[in-house]
Chain A
Amino acid sequence: MFGPATKREGVDGRRQLTALAERGIYAAILPRCPVRCTLRLQILVILVALAVASRAAAWTLGDPDSPSTLDVHGFVSQGFIKSTANDYLVDSSSGSFEFSEAGLNFTTQLTDRLRAGLQLFAFDQGSLGTFDVRADWFYLDYHFKDWFGVRAGRVKLVYGLYNDISDIDAARTPVLLPASIYPETNRYYLLAVTGGELYGFVNLNRGGGLDYHLIGGAIPVELPSQIGAPEQASNIDIPYIAAGRIMWETPLDGLRVGATGAVLKLNETAVFAPMPPMPTLPPLNAHAVEYVGVLSGEYVGHNLLLAAEGGSSRTTLTDDQPALVPPGRTVSGGGYGLAAYRVTPWLQPALYYSVYWPNVDDRNGPGKFQDDLSGTLRFDINNYWLVKLEAHYMHGTAVLSGEQITMGRENWGLFLLKTTAYF
């Protein structure tokens, strides 16, 4: 909901800010990164692969009778994307294997109430991933009471039902979460917040329970190399983000409903290379504030999963060169409905329909809407290995990038194959 998934071929200041105004903050700041498979990633993948191969279960180090053990979990994923037209996330029209993820996490209970954890993560997805290993999350968690705990560090952004697991293929049925609420760009910029979190679960007895999270902090944005680009972002930062989610776990087992609200600010400075005979433009400083709201409902009962979410965001853009990039306010919106049923322990089909409007006041025309009808087959080969097949019928081009938004084919298909090993 913070902006649709897009790919940028370079950091184009004016296009960025136009995109920022029209399509949300994160559509605007996606530079094309060179793919670098570093030694660190290789080490991470080898570690995870060894763990999966040698003992396909979570490692628990230390005395299992003691609460102070070290739990180790990990996963590796590899996917393939092919579209019938348009390039989505990667060069999908040609078919692409640039769809890889690996993660390894460590959690330990230091005392009765104090826990610490760290997850290393690397991924490649077209322009969104660079294969660099980074700390996905790390925290110290002090659990005062069930209804009140504190986490500090880099904490996952709890947003809607699934944002905090949007990088974990094994934790969901579809390969791609509905882009109306969970644009793929969130995986890079809005997965975790450096700051803190207050959380808790309030038992309402026969009234169910209330689960809440309040998160605040900043999101550091690392700019990749832009050598050779005619327009460059010299600085992008998100100085603050505040988010809260409250979820009522109803007395009906497995049924939960709730709401998420968030506000964040983004600052950007763009510089323009001289382009004679045009006069050199001075640097452009822009600021955007985005407010987001999402309503969520989910039912998980025995083998059935039903979920629906709807949301809206309002982005206000201001800058110091209004003649170049006019300030403005845009409201985007969308939602989805999802159903999944585990037919057998090894087969779970899922369907969802998602709709998204970058500007709810202008819903007609190229790039003004996106309908997505998706079907998934998830095969759990065993407890540690799964394979997914997924097909999307896309109507619209709002989730595409660059010229494809207005020039792309309106009706297109997307096919994904993905396999994940985890423990």
Chain B
Amino acid sequence: MSSIRICAVLLAFGAAIYAYPRRVRAESGGPFRVIVNTGNPVDAIDRRFLADAFFKKTTRWPNDEAIRPVDLAPSSPLRRTFSEEVLKRSIAAVKSYWQQVVFAGHGVPPPELDSESDVVKFVAKNRWAVGYVSPGVNVAGVKIVVVR
């Protein structure tokens, strides 16, 4: 009987994880916009895919081109929001992750740019780049994508 209860609890736990809401506030009216190059055919990104791209666990777009994520400086309030909502970690935890990766020789973090306009320029210049900016920033030359 106890094993049945344990199985039921595990199944409920698994179902809860599976049904865990994945929407983030980037879709409309949220605190940031995710941008890609206008030459990128992608119009919508799964939140987990975006997180894996910024952790460089996933390094390829669906068309097999290399993803080039670009970050803001750690002092940026927008980066803090993006880290908490998309990466689900504090900036300090993200930094800790990259220290592990860098010093184990398994990779390097995305470049960190000083301003959101620099992020827009970077994405406009690099066809397979992805970044994030505030809603009010001029995004001419890049494309806003929906985060699911």
Contacts and interface: CB of A to CB of B under 8 A. Distances in A.
Interface in B20-59: 20, 48-49, 51-52, 57-59
Interface in B102-148: 102-108, 111, 122, 125-126
A135 to B, nearest CB: 11
A166 B111 CA distance: 26
Contact of B92 (A60, A71, A301, A303): A303
A186 to B, nearest CB: 14
B119 to A, nearest CB: 12
Interface string A291-316: 00000000011110100000000000
A105 B57 contact: no
A342 B90 CA distance: 9
A156 interface: yes
B100 A300 contact: no
Given A105-B105, A164-B104, A209-B52, A67 B99 contact: no
Given A143-B59, A252-B17, A73 B102 contact: yes
A167 B66 CA distance: 31
A137 interface: yes
Contacts of A112: 66
A156 B105 contact: yes
Given A71-B108, A252-B20, A422 B99 contact: yes
Contact of A168 (B49, B99, B122): B99
Interface string B10-22: 0000000110100
A91 interface: no
Instruction: Classify chain B: how many residues form its interface, as a range.
Output: 35 or more
Contact of A146 (B60, B84, B122): B60
Interface in A51-86: 58, 60, 64-65, 67, 71, 73, 75
Given A209-B57, A303-B93, A105 B66 contact: no
Nearest to A145: B60
Contacts of B79: none
Instruction: Classify chain A: how many residues form its interface, as a range.
Output: 35 or more
Nearest to A380: B92
A345 B80 CA distance: 11
A165 B88 contact: no
A249 to B, nearest CB: 8
A300 B88 CA distance: 9
A201 interface: yes
Nearest to B46: A205
Contacts of B104: 137, 156, 158, 164-165, 168, 171
Contacts of A267: none
A302 B88 contact: yes
B122 A65 contact: yes
A301 B99 CA distance: 17
Contacts of B89: 254, 300-302
Contact of A107 (B93, B105, B122): B105
A137 B102 CA distance: 12
Given A64-B111, A254-B89, A348-B92, A103 B58 contact: no
Nearest to A119: B105
Contacts of B68: 67
A119 B88 contact: no
A250 B17 contact: yes
A224 interface: no
Nearest to A154: B105
A280 interface: no
A230 interface: no
B93 A302 contact: yes
A201 B68 CA distance: 17
A67 B66 CA distance: 10
Interface string A375-403: 00000100100000000000000000000
Given A64-B111, A146-B60, A105 B102 contact: yes
A171 B90 contact: no
A75 B125 CA distance: 33
Contacts of B103: 73, 75, 103, 105, 119, 165, 167-168, 170-171
Contacts of A171: 96, 99-100, 103-104
A383 B52 contact: no
A301 B100 CA distance: 16
A251 B105 contact: no
B66 to A, nearest CB: 5
Given A143-B59, A249-B57, 4 more contacts: A145-B60, A158-B104, A211-B57, A342-B90
17 contacts: A64-B111, A73-B108, A107-B102, A146-B60, A158-B104, A164-B106, A165-B99, A165-B100, A168-B100, A170-B99, A171-B103, A209-B57, A253-B48, A342-B90, A345-B91, A383-B74, A383-B95
Top-9 shortest CB links A-B:
A253-B88, A171-B99, A168-B103, A164-B104, A71-B108, A171-B100, A137-B105, A251-B17, A201-B57
Interface of A: 58, 60, 64-65, 67, 71, 73, 75, 103, 105, 107, 112-113, 115, 117, 119, 137, 139, 143, 145-146, 155-156, 158, 162, 164-165, 167-168, 170-172, 201, 203, 206, 209, 211, 249-254, 300-303, 305, 342, 345, 348, 380, 383, 422
